[in-house]
Amino acid sequence: EIVMTQSPATLSVSPGERATVSCRASQSISSNLAWYQQKPGQAPRLLIYGASTRATGIPARFSGSGSGTEFTLTISSLQSEDFAVYYCQQYNNWLRTFGQGTKVEIK
Amino acid sequence: EVQLVESGGGLIQPGGSLRLSCAASGFTVSNNHMNWVRQAPGKGLEWVSVIYSGGNTYYADSVKGRFTISRDNSKNTLSVQMNSLRAEDTAVYYCAREVVDVMTVDWYFDLWGRGTLVTVSS
């Protein structure tokens, strides 16, 4: 099983500031990584796939980077609707695994 | 409208069985790769099982031998039969469609239901 480790667990950011979430894979997964956003009481929402491709309708302030074992999700200027929990997920093999989540909260 | 709607959750005693269903609309379940993903209260997401369009099925180690994923083509639904339930199976269960970008061969969950809560407790 590929273990995905996110950091930090919680990120306190002021509106308008940049937020950066990291995700590390226990072995190389090439660019086989997606990012999801989840708000309380809602299902996850796809943000990024292929480590850096924004899903349809996702604002340009969301960007992803990385390959191999190290990945980053960046939100360039946080809006009020961006405060949520973010998960990375690998699809390098059939056993999909998620990171434990990073909560982005208002500072 | 393209959507997924889960049902069948509830309170069940340890050792009991429960069957969850996921009704799809706007697309054909059998032509897609369909998954169950769960989320324990206050915890993160855990992939549970997949049934590929070709029929192959896979399970997380935590549920292997206890859960069985299936689909009903006539009803356009996805199901999971959960047996020998444990307290640690308590979670919101989501069904999710997984698609493949044919150009880049990237996979992702593009459509999720709202989930159904399963509580395993005596």
How far is A95 from chain B, CA to nearest CA, in Å? 7
Q: Among residues A70, A91, A87, which one has the least CA distance to residue B105? A: A91
For tokens 């660019």, the residue is A31
Report how far apart, in Å, the C-alpha atoms of A105 and of each of A37, A78, B17 are.
Answer: 13, 10, 38
| Contact by Cβ (8 Å): B44, A100 | yes
Task: Give the pLDDT of chain B (122 residues) as one tens digit per residue.
Answer: 999 999 999 999 999 999 999 999 999 999 999 999 999 999 999 999 999 999 999 999 999 999 999 999 999 999 999 999 999 999 999 999 999 988 888 999 999 999 999 999 99
- Give the model confidence (pLDDT) of A34-54 as tens digits: 999 999 999 999 999 999 999
Residues of B in contact with A95 (CB under 8 A): 47, 58, 60
* Residues contacting residue B114 through CB under 8 Å, at least 6 positions apart: A42, A43, B5, B6, B94
B44 Cβ under 8 Å from any chain A Cβ: yes
User: If pLDDT is split at 50, 70 and 90, which confidence band does A93 have?
Assistant: confident
Q: A57 has which bridge partners?
A: none
Pairing of strands B116-120, B10-12: parallel
Residue of A nearest to B56 (CA): A94
Interface of A with B in 57-86 (CB under 8 A): none
Q: Among residues A3, A93, A95, A87, which one has the least CA distance to residue A46? A: A87
A26 Cβ under 8 Å from any chain B Cβ: no
3 state SS of B74:
coil
Yes or no, beta carbons of A98 and B60 under 8 Å apart: no
Residues of B in contact with A34 (CB under 8 A): 106-109
| Contact by Cβ (8 Å): B60, B67 | no
Using the 8-state DSSP alphabet, how is residue B88 labeled?
G
| Contact by Cβ (8 Å): A76, A63 | yes
- Give the model confidence (pLDDT) of A45-82 as tens digits: 999 999 999 999 999 999 999 999 999 999 999 999 99
